[in-house]
């Protein structure tokens, strides 16, 4: 069976991490990995999670299978968080949630659901998170891309995006990033979200909103704007939700596929299809992360603590953005990196060629993934001047 099986090269981001670890230079900077890191470079377990885990473990009486839609209480808690407790979408029963193994599991399940329900195509803005392509094409969908980001202007190219979106019709699907666009950090403005919602209403395409950074752009309510607006204006919306970043539950593989249907009855039908597809694949999601999230969101004190910790993480990334902008200004780069301060989430795309990325790594020990994406968590008061020096040298070479 496997005598001719080819050995695949390692994942490029993991390869970069290994290069970074092996680099003996003390001034080296890791801007590559895609997780939140604190000032010491650690990805800590949130205090709210530690307490919730203790409660969950103490209360646990069985390891018997969880229900097919995940840990009890998880789905309703995520729906409350995403739509707001008083939302009409919830009181009308139009929204349903299925717990999934992380946001990736939600994306794959969404892809399979769309494929089995006859989606003609799925359109992605370019660039997008690289894993969107294998996850959604492996589900059998035909993928198209439209321009999203202008690398010269360092911002959303809304005219080009809209032109691409204007060609979509009923049975097409448009993938959007809920907030904190990965890899660019450039989000649609509220007015632009409203325009895309109008186009979806007129043209009939289905939005699939990938929400992996809820709480990292402005706050939990503001960051849900796209989901709430689309769900209010359109009959059908899908959301893939990840608890990896905002609950720091990366390895617990905790996420959800959220289905908004034209009615409670339609949402229930689509949810039953999603559960059936999950059953043919991994059967049901791992319970632990879902139990922890449900525990946090149902306990006012834990919920308050979690919100404070999330705000602290988001504030740190925002202040790192400003630090980089200020330092670039002060060292003669004028406004060349000022776009970074206006963007959202952990990532921005620096306008660097592959050669310039190599120079920064080889000559200065600054590790950036191909394409120029940086994780702002890796920037701090101590290393920012070295980073700007490296950027200046690489871009003037
Ligand atoms: C844009 C985007 N979507 C989805 C995910 C999936 O997250 P998870 O780790 O929960 O599978 C990520 C994770 O990095 C992401 O950046």
Model pLDDT, residue 15:
83
* 245 annotated active-site: yes
- Do 109 and 164 belong to one domain? yes
Q: How confident is the model at residue 132 (pLDDT cuts 50, 70, 90)?
A: very high
Do 28 and 75 reside in the same domain of the chain?
no
Handedness of CA 40, 41, 47, 51 (dihedral sign): negative
Q: Is residue 53 part of a domain?
A: no
- C-alpha 104 – ligand 1 centre gap (Å): 6
Residue 7 forms part of a structural domain:
no
Q: Are 53 and 292 in contact (CB under 8 A)?
A: yes
How many Å apart are CA 176 and CA 165, to the nearest integer?
11
Query: What confidence score (pLDDT) does residue 11 get?
Result: 79
CATH for 391: 3.90.1150.10
Which secondary-structure segment (H or E) carries 19? Answer: helix 12-22
| Residues 200, 286 within the same domain | yes
Could you give the CA distance from residue 239 to residue 223 in angstroms, rounded to a whole number? Answer: 13
Protein residues with CB under 6 Å of any ligand 1 atom: 34, 102-104, 129, 182, 210, 212, 242, 244, 250, 255
Domain boundary, last residue among 242, 266, 298: 298
**What pLDDT does residue 396 have?**
87
* Number of domain units in the chain: 2
Same domain? For 347 and 376 the reply is yes
From 70, 102, 105, 243, mutation site for ligand 1 pocket: most ligand atoms within 8 A of C-beta:
102
pLDDT of residue 221: 98
Query: Of 129, 70, 88, nearest to 271 (Cα)?
Result: 70
**Model pLDDT, residue 189:** 98
Q: Are strands 155-156 and 149-150 parallel, antiparallel or unpaired?
A: antiparallel
* 86 classed as catalytic: no
Single out the catalytic residue among 30, 157, 187, 210: 210
CA distance 53 to 67: 20
Say if 139 falls within a structural domain.
yes
Specify if 58 maps to a domain.
Answer: no
Task: Answer yes or no: is pLDDT of 118 > 70.
Answer: yes
Residue nearest to atom 15 of ligand 1 (CA): 212
| Omega before 168 within 30 of 0, i.e. cis | no
Atom index in ligand 1 nearest the CA of residue 244 equals 10
Same domain, 294 and 329: no
Last residue of a domain, one of 270, 298, 326: 298
Domain edge (last residue) among 298, 326, 358: 298
Residues 247 and 287 in one domain: yes
Residue 143: inside a domain, yes or no?
yes
| Residue 291 sits in the same domain as residue 336 | no
Mean pLDDT, the chain, integer: 96
357 lies in the same domain as 260: no
Would you say residue 299 has pLDDT above 90? yes
- Compute, in angstroms, the gap from residue 392 CA to the centroid of ligand 1: 31
For residue 287, what are the contacts with CB-CB under 8 A and spacing of at least 6? 66, 70, 71
**Is the pTM higher than 0.85?**
yes
Q: Whose CA is nearest to atom 12 of ligand 1?
A: 212
Distance CA 71, CA 291 (A): 6
Contact 237, 80 (CB under 8 A): no
Cα–Cα distance, 97 to 109 (Å, whole number): 12
Q: How many angstroms separate the CA atoms of 329 and 41, rounded? A: 25
Please, what sign has the CA dihedral across residues 225, 228, 232, 234? positive
Buried b (16+ CB within 10 A) or exposed e, 257-282: bbbbbeeeebbeebbebbbebbeeee
Among protein residues, the one with the nearest Cα to ligand 1's atom 2 is 212
Nearest-5° angle of CA 234, CA 218, CA 372?
A: 95
Residue 27 lies in a domain: yes
**CATH classification at residue 176:** 3.40.640.10
Q: At 356, which helix (H) or strand (E)? A: helix 354-364
Residues 108-127 have a mean pLDDT of: 97
Regarding whether 372 and 237 lie in a shared domain, the answer is no
What percentage of the chain carries pLDDT values higher than 90? 95
Helices and strands (H, E) in the chain, number of each type: 15, 13
pLDDT digits (tens, 9 = 90+) for 31-88: 998 899 998 889 999 999 999 999 999 999 999 999 999 999 999 999 999 999 999 9
Residue 320 lies in a domain: yes
- In this prediction, residue 397 has a pLDDT band, given cuts at 50, 70 and 90, of low
Please tell me the distance from the alpha carbon of residue 394 to that of residue 311, in angstroms, as a whole number. 34
Q: Whose CA is nearest to atom 7 of ligand 1?
A: 103
Write out the H or E segment, with its range, that includes residue 30.
strand 29-30
Residues 35 and 178 in one domain: no
Are residues 360 and 392 part of one domain?
yes
Q: In terms of domains, do 266 and 372 share one?
A: no
Residue 218 · residue 345 · CB < 8 Å: no
Q: Is the dihedral of CA 324, 329, 331, 337 positive or negative?
A: positive
Instruction: Specify if 59 maps to a domain.
Output: no
- Contact (Cβ atoms closer than 8 angstroms) between residue 347 and residue 368: no
Residue-range definition of the domain harbouring residue 324: 12-44+315-396
């Amino acid at each position: 069976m496997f005598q001719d099986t080819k050995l695949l090269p390692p994942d490029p981001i993991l390869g970069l991490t290994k290069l970074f670890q092996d680099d003996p230079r003390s001034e080296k900077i890791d801007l590559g990995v895609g997780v939140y890191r604190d000032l010491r470079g650690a990805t800590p377990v949130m205090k709210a999670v530690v307490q919730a885990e203790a409660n969950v473990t103490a209360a646990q009486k069985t390891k018997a299978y969880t229900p097919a839609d995940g840990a009890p209480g998880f789905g309703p808690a995520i729906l409350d968080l995403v739509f707001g407790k008083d939302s009409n979408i919830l009181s009308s029963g139009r929204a349903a949630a299925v717990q999934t193994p992380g946001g990736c599991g939600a994306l794959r399940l969404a892809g399979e659901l769309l494929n089995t329900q006859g989606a003609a195509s799925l359109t992605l803005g370019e660039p997008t998170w690289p894993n969107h392509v294998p996850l959604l094409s492996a589900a059998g969908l035909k993928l198209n891309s439209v321009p999203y980001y202008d690398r010269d202007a360092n911002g959303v190219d809304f005219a080009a995006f809209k032109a691409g979106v204007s060609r979509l019709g009923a049975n097409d699907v448009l993938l959007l990033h809920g907030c904190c666009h990965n890899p660019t950090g450039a989000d649609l403005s509220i007015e632009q979200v409203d325009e895309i919602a109008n186009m979806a209403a007129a043209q009939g395409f289905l939005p699939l909103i990938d929400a992996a950074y809820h709480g990292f752009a402005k706050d939990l309510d503001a960051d849900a704007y796209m989901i709430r607006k689309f769900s209010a204006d359109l009959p059908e919306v899908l959301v893939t939700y990840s608890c990896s970043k905002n609950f720091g539950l990366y390895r617990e593989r905790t996420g959800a596929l959220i289905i908004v249907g034209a009615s409670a009855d339609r949402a229930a039908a689509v949810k039953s299809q999603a559960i059936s597809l999950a059953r043919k694949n991994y059967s049901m999601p791992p319970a632990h992360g879902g139990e922890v999230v449900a525990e946090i969101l149902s306990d006012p004190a834990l919920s308050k603590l979690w919100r404070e910790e999330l705000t602290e993480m988001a504030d740190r990334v925002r202040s790192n953005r400003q630090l980089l902008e200020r330092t670039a200004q002060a060292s003669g780069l004028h406004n060349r990196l000022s776009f970074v301060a206006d963007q959202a989430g952990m990532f921005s795309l620096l306008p660097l060629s592959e050669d310039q990325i190599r120079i920064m790594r080889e000559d200065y020990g600054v590790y950036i993934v191909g394409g120029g994406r940086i994780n702002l968590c890796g920037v701090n008061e101590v290393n920012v001047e070295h980073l700007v020096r490296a950027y200046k040298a690489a871009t003037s070479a």
